[in-house]
Structure 1
Amino acid sequence: RFAGLFAGRKVELLDQLLDLLEELLRRGDDQRIRTLVDADRHLLGFCGRVTPRTASASAEHSYELFRRRLTAAPCAADHPVLELFLDDPGDLAGLCDVDRNVLEKRAAETEELQGKKPKLYDDYREIIDRKDVDVIIIGTPDHWHCMPMVEACQAGKDVYVEKPIANSIEECNIMVEAARKYERVVQVGQWQRSDPHWQDAVDFVRSGKLGKIRTVKAWIYVGWKGELPVMADEAAPEGVDYDFWLGPATKRPFNIYRFHWHFRWFWDYAGGLMTDWGVHLLDYALYGMNQYVPNSVMSSGGKFAYPSDARETPDTQYAVYDFNDFGLLWESSIGIAGGNYGRGHGVAFLGNNGTLVVNRAGWEVIPEVIGGEKMMEEVPLIKRNPEAGSGLDHHVHNFLDCMKTREKPKADVEIGAHIARFA
């Protein structure tokens, strides 16, 4: 049996999460793969049958997955997750959600898709206790990452946990300790570590062609998001186990803007843009330079654009990391679309000969021009090649391969913990 639990969220890369689950079901080995993902709004469990297809003398097995298609849901009602898994028919065995309304809706969609209704759960721990699963995927709000991951490791499961790995430094430390103590493979959802065009950009940075790199920039400008109005507390919607959603966080009355997707703007559950996007982009800034521990850090910012709105986290923030021979600059802003180099997000490596700029669309090199002479050859924009597969595709492949080899994956728990502390 191939079982899972996926708590969908409306995230900035919903399609990337879909790719993750598609690939997880597409590829299997002799370990029954299972997914956990809870406390946001949607805990979606899925299970498909697997049967051995070939076996070698080295006991390596490949399996045919009969389950590839299901319907899932993000945490915002206006963004349902579309059909994820393609090709083969199969069984979605269970769904678990803290919102019974969403649970029933998704179960009905799944029944229509596969011809029968999956088993429904109210508590993810019932899925953890199942003996027929070996992998957990955690896609909850940040404050719910630590406990399920530790429980999964204790139960002998390998884990894919979304970024940021945790909501505090202490949680990071606990999660690293658990992964190592129980000798589990843990992949953190910083999928750019597996994305071919990001790796190509880093290879160019490390080639030395840019000359001495003295400045690195990373930024995210979220122009589509504006003010978050202040809303009065109210009773939790019928069918929502809000106490379970809060979990280890401070107990508070229900508020629609502290719930589901908007949780990321409140310190109890997340860290705003710095931890939402910063762990992706700052990680690649460090990875490109192959330096990870700054000598000093300073940051400033605040609620400059919307001082009276409901958010707690900054709508504008800057940070400077000093590495002795280069500096790393972070910028984030809500309500402004124009970022550096005409890009809403990205990482730039500024060298004496030229600047490499990379984001999720591709990468290019802009040469320095001194006295009318280009200091290096220009590299026009090299767009991400869709046919090469998404970074998330490769990230899942890497995770599943490492489950078999027991090697550390590309975004190992230590990498995820370090950048979460860094951000």
Structure 2
Amino acid sequence: MKDNRRTFIKKAALGTTGITLGSAPFAFSAKSYNSIMGANDRVNMCVIGTRGQGFGHLKRWASMAESENVYVKTICDVDENLWAERVQAVNEIQGKKPGTEVDMRKVFDDKDVDAVSIATPNHWHALATIWAVQAGKNVYVEKPCSHNVFEGRKMIEAARKYNRIVQVGFQNRSINNVRKAMQFLHNGGIGEVYMAKGLCYKPRDSFGIAADSEPPQGFHYDMWLGPAAMRPYNEKKSHYNWHWHWDTGNGDIGNQGPHQFDVARWGMNKNEHPVKVSSSGGYYKYGPDECSQETANTQTAELQYADGKILQFEVRGLYTGGEADMGVKIGNLFYGTEGWMEVNGGTWKTYMGRDNEPGPSSESEEEGTDKVVDYLAAPGSGGHYANFIAAVRSGKKSDLTCDIEEGYYSTVLPLLSNISYRMGRSLEFDGKKEKFVRDPEADKMLSREYRKPYVVENNV
């Protein structure tokens, strides 16, 4: 929905020109009208990291040109080999050709860029966000918001210090059916929720091994490594496969997993850290001579809160069926004192009492009850990306469905789980200090050794 300010600008523009929309021969298209509106209303975006999810970001933002006056001004990627295809795609969608850049720092120096969309590997999320807000940019950053716990806290501090809008890419937060499911839980729809479970059942084949080599021409490898320790280039440890190596990724529990961790914590209404964490698993089927993967392909985690309530998570990276009535593989289960709920994408169902009587659901006709409410769509009402743009225009972080602090609390859950997994033991966590209890060895894994000049400073 256009706000009053945009309506006023539109009327003023038409009034001063004497031209009416749709009156030939001077009819304005949406694109030409947006050009008249000018830089004060337009949101100029830069997408940083344009493979995979980043290519999706480019298409999303570019598709908002006519409807929301959002334009991709710059494509930033350290792999120049991607540029031609990305530029062509964006130009075809928004009718305007974006520029290209290797170094994100030059993007941050561009006064015409209003916001950046970060879809780099995980190890770059925090530093890119901090540099961006220090330069006055608003930020949409992919999940998990950070590669470790320390730098996630620094992202919050930077966002608040420089008063910038920072949205984390937990898209479920802007899906209306999921929002209704969460409201139903919070209203006591299945009684008191005492346990939640997140599921990530996603088969992953071996991606193989390769000898170290020279980076491809046009791929700026040193900049791609950024905060990570220097190591020889290896094609099996860079594009996409970075997910499965500790220096750059967090495994599937920190890849697909954060989405379901977020829904689990949201449904439990927990705005705090857990006090205990235990995780175990392994990398099964493929040996080190078949695949260079370091992270687990099968992993379970259990996190407990101060009141004793439990959040469970399970990764199954080989072959498995689904869970519950809908055969959920990527989703959530919630258990309450009066019943339970399954969430599968935007579909949810509840089952009540000992006999599992069907209760309200996303397709229920019982939405007049006080347990299922017409939970209003998020500001922007066009999904997570539109929600971000609405908050950028309003300047209110309260308009975001997933502000950086919300995203951080969910991101910490897989990060703590991985520390327990790698340490091989259960851990106690002090949420106020954001340190483990009397465990300096585990504390070392809350941060990392940063490689200059790619350093997340303590004072942001």
| TM-score, with structure 1 as normaliser | 0.75
Matched residue SS, 2:260: helix
Task: Work out whether residues 137 and 164 of structure 2, in 8 Å CA contact, stay in contact via their aligned partners in 1.
Answer: yes
Task: Work out whether residues 142 and 270 of structure 1, in 8 Å CA contact, stay in contact via their aligned partners in 2.
Answer: yes
Indicate which of 363, 373, 382 corresponds to 1:382. Answer: 363
Matched residue SS, 2:243: helix
Bigger radius of gyration among the two = 2
Q: Which residues of structure 2 form unaligned runs of 5+? A: 1-33, 365-376, 415-460
Indicate which of 351, 367, 370 corresponds to 2:336. Answer: 351
CA distance in 2, matches of 1:42, 1:369: 45
CA distance in 2, matches of 1:114, 1:364: 39
- Check if 1:422 corresponds to 2:413: yes
Q: Sequence identity, in percent?
A: 33
Task: Work out whether residues 97 and 122 of structure 1, in 8 Å CA contact, stay in contact via their aligned partners in 2.
Answer: yes
Q: CA deviation at 1:278?
A: 2.4
What's 1:34 paired with?
A: 44
Q: CA deviation at 1:237?
A: 1.4
One-letter amino acid of the structure 1 residue matched with residue 172 of structure 2: Q
What's 1:394 paired with?
A: 383
Structure ranking higher in strand proportion: 1
- Aligned positions, number: 357
Q: Which residues of structure 1 form unaligned runs of 5+? A: 1-24, 45-71, 75-79
Task: Work out whether residues 318 and 329 of structure 1, in 8 Å CA contact, stay in contact via their aligned partners in 2.
Answer: yes
CA distance in 1, matches of 2:384, 2:111: 26
Q: CA deviation at 1:207?
A: 2.6
- Check if 1:239 corresponds to 2:218: yes
Task: Work out whether residues 163 and 190 of structure 1, in 8 Å CA contact, stay in contact via their aligned partners in 2.
Answer: yes
Indicate which of 288, 296, 301 corresponds to 1:319. Answer: 301
What's 1:164 paired with?
A: 144
What's 2:25 paired with?
A: none
CA distance in 1, matches of 2:93, 2:259: 34
Structure 1 residues 273-292: aligned runs within 5 Å: 273-291=252-270, 292=272
Indicate which of 319, 336, 339 corresponds to 2:322. Answer: 339
Query: Which whole-Å deviations, capped at 9, do the CAs of 1:373-398 have from their partners, x for residues lacking one?
Result: x5x54345639xxxx89x99332333
Task: Work out whether residues 72 and 98 of structure 2, in 8 Å CA contact, stay in contact via their aligned partners in 1.
Answer: yes
Q: CA deviation at 1:218?
A: 0.9
What's 1:182 paired with?
A: 162
Structure 1 residues 228-267: aligned runs within 5 Å: 228-267=207-246
CA distance in 2, matches of 1:218, 1:255: 33
Q: CA deviation at 1:200?
A: 0.9
CA distance in 2, matches of 1:131, 1:43: 26
CA distance in 2, matches of 1:83, 1:400: 10
Q: CA deviation at 1:209?
A: 3.1
- Check if 1:147 corresponds to 2:130: no
- Check if 1:406 corresponds to 2:391: no
Task: Work out whether residues 349 and 361 of structure 2, in 8 Å CA contact, stay in contact via their aligned partners in 1.
Answer: yes
CA distance in 2, matches of 1:231, 1:249: 20
Matched residue SS, 1:35: strand
RMSD over aligned Cα atoms: 3.3
One-letter amino acid of the structure 1 residue matched with residue 253 of structure 2: M
Task: Work out whether residues 213 and 232 of structure 2, in 8 Å CA contact, stay in contact via their aligned partners in 1.
Answer: yes
| TM-score, with structure 2 as normaliser | 0.69
Q: CA deviation at 1:346?
A: 1.1
1:307–1:378 distance in 2 versus 1, CA, 3 Å: farther
Task: Work out whether residues 305 and 315 of structure 1, in 8 Å CA contact, stay in contact via their aligned partners in 2.
Answer: no
One-letter amino acid of the structure 1 residue matched with residue 319 of structure 2: I
One-letter amino acid of the structure 2 residue matched with residue 410 of structure 1: T
Indicate which of 209, 214, 220 corresponds to 2:194. Answer: 214
One-letter amino acid of the structure 1 residue matched with residue 303 of structure 2: Y
Task: Work out whether residues 185 and 406 of structure 1, in 8 Å CA contact, stay in contact via their aligned partners in 2.
Answer: yes
Task: Work out whether residues 214 and 233 of structure 2, in 8 Å CA contact, stay in contact via their aligned partners in 1.
Answer: yes
Matched residue SS, 2:341: strand
4+ residue runs of structure 1 moved beyond 4 angstroms?
39-44, 80-84, 86-93, 108-118
Query: Which whole-Å deviations, capped at 9, do the CAs of 1:184-218 have from their partners, x for residues lacking one?
Result: 11111112112111111112212323234332111
Query: Which whole-Å deviations, capped at 9, do the CAs of 1:353-378 have from their partners, x for residues lacking one?
Result: 321001214111123434xxx5x543
CA distance in 2, matches of 1:134, 1:243: 27
One-letter amino acid of the structure 1 residue matched with residue 383 of structure 2: H
What's 2:100 paired with?
A: 120
CA distance in 2, matches of 1:269, 1:109: 28
Structure 1 residues 53-92: aligned runs within 5 Å: 72=55, 85=63, 88=66
Task: Work out whether residues 220 and 332 of structure 1, in 8 Å CA contact, stay in contact via their aligned partners in 2.
Answer: yes
CA distance in 2, matches of 1:367, 1:415: 30
Task: Work out whether residues 96 and 122 of structure 1, in 8 Å CA contact, stay in contact via their aligned partners in 2.
Answer: yes
CA distance in 1, matches of 2:347, 2:184: 13
One-letter amino acid of the structure 2 residue matched with residue 312 of structure 1: E
1:106–1:380 distance in 2 versus 1, CA, 3 Å: closer
CA distance in 2, matches of 1:87, 1:116: 9
Indicate which of 65, 81, 100 corresponds to 1:101. Answer: 81
Q: CA deviation at 1:84?
A: 5.2
CA distance in 1, matches of 2:352, 2:52: 47
What's 2:30 paired with?
A: none
- Of 195-204 and 336-345, the range deviating more from structure 2: 336-345
Task: Work out whether residues 320 and 329 of structure 1, in 8 Å CA contact, stay in contact via their aligned partners in 2.
Answer: yes
1:191–1:303 distance in 2 versus 1, CA, 3 Å: same
Task: Work out whether residues 46 and 74 of structure 2, in 8 Å CA contact, stay in contact via their aligned partners in 1.
Answer: no
